[in-house]
Structure 1
């Protein structure tokens, strides 16, 4: 696994740090996002202080309009070596995978929670990354 990498888009939301496979994101824009198309199942999208003016990630989907994910800000896009991504322990993995969390990535002293938006959607209409 030493030579294998995945392009991760790193961002902040509700004070935590996350990463997603970059190919799942259509675009990132500082523009109002459609509250009717917010990606369901993410804890920070339920927060009262999410503002429509926040930056949004717009996802590749097969539907008419892309889902949007409100975020506080972009961090970076990096090619992460798969050897630096840590999966969860076996006893915890089934629970977190159901919620779209597939690992953690340490970069510059900061821990990023890795999400798969397709899993969050139940793999219905977003390009998936991890297997079922």
Structure 2
């Protein structure tokens, strides 16, 4: 863990916040170009790689530091849930694509899966 964290940023919270930030960058890297379909594809790929580099600079330490308090399965589950939340917001706010009841049902099933990953049996 980094040595100088504010007291409010616990070892449990830091990886989640970093995964949240990394997912914002990755969502833009993967889907942000959909608003610029007329752009030259090789340029779009290069820009996406640049954005993804920032994502990796956040995700790799998030997983390394997070492994001190979470299992690998828990980290992957956090990442997937965060990805869905970020993508849902991105889809509605940036792409202006609506989400329907079927999306909510699918996300609820994934959340149920997350419950099983984190629940101690």
More helix by share: 2
Q: Judge same fold: TM > 0.5, yes or no.
A: no
The higher radius of gyration belongs to 2
Classify the TM-score, shorter chain.
Answer: under 0.3
More strand by share: 1
TM-score (ref. length: structure 2): 0.24
